[in-house]
Amino acid sequence: MASIGFIVGEYFFEQMSSIKTRKHYVMADMGFSGFWSFLYFIGFCYLTNKWSNAPTPPYGVNNMQAAIAFSFFAIFPWAAAAYLAFMRYKQGADQAFAPSYEADPTNMGGYNSYPDATDPEGGYSQPPFTGQPGQPPQSGMQQAPPY
């Protein structure tokens, strides 16, 4: 059940807006996966030891061999899940809200709507919304907007 919960958590990971929530989720995933990898390793060692010390039973040989094999092979996916959770934990919050695009580091200028267009006056000659050209601003009075 908890594994299904972590799969659902992976689906909703991008919608988690809090860094603390993401951190707790990744730590829980890492701990859970590491714990199950350890349990499967202990189970494999225990079953192998008991199987080697047991007398040969007349029945259940295939069942015991399958249990040992599956407990051995289950160690690796859980360890890989723990490792991937550790890598996500090391990545931290730096990439949590990073944009999906890279800004062009060579473009240091402003935005040009037409790449080849040039302004003969060299840009704005006056700031916008200052009134009519040539009029000095009136102090203390609000200017009427030009229509």
Structural domain includes residue 68: yes
Q: How many domains does the chain have?
A: 1
Q: Which domain holds residue 65?
A: 2-91
- 122 domain-assigned: no
Alpha carbon 47 to its chain's center: 38
Q: Which residue did the predictor score with more confidence, 20 or 98? A: 20
Classify residue 135: in a domain, yes or no: no
Residue 7 resides in a domain: yes
Asked if residue 101 belongs to a domain, the reply is no
Cβ atoms 60, 94 nearer than 8 A: no
Cα 42 from Cα 87, distance rounded (Å): 25
pLDDT tens per residue across span 117-129 = 666 666 655 655 6
DSSP assignment of 98-137 equals --SS---TT--S---SSTT---TT-S-SS-TTS-STTPPP
How many angstroms separate the CA atoms of 115 and 105, rounded? 17
Q: How far apart, in whole angstroms, are the C-alpha atoms of residue 115 and residue 124? A: 17
**52 occurs within a structural domain:** yes
pTM: 0.58
Quick check: 5 pLDDT over 90? Answer: no
The answer to whether position 25 is within a domain reads: yes
| 32-58 pLDDT tens trace | 999 999 999 999 999 999 888 888 777
Q: Tell me the pLDDT band of 98, cut-offs 50, 70 and 90.
A: low
Q: With H, G, I as helix, E, B as strand and everything else as coil, classify residue 59.
A: coil
| Burial degree of 41 (CB within 10 A; 0-12, 13-18, 19+) | middle
Q: Residue 82: is its pLDDT beyond 60?
A: yes
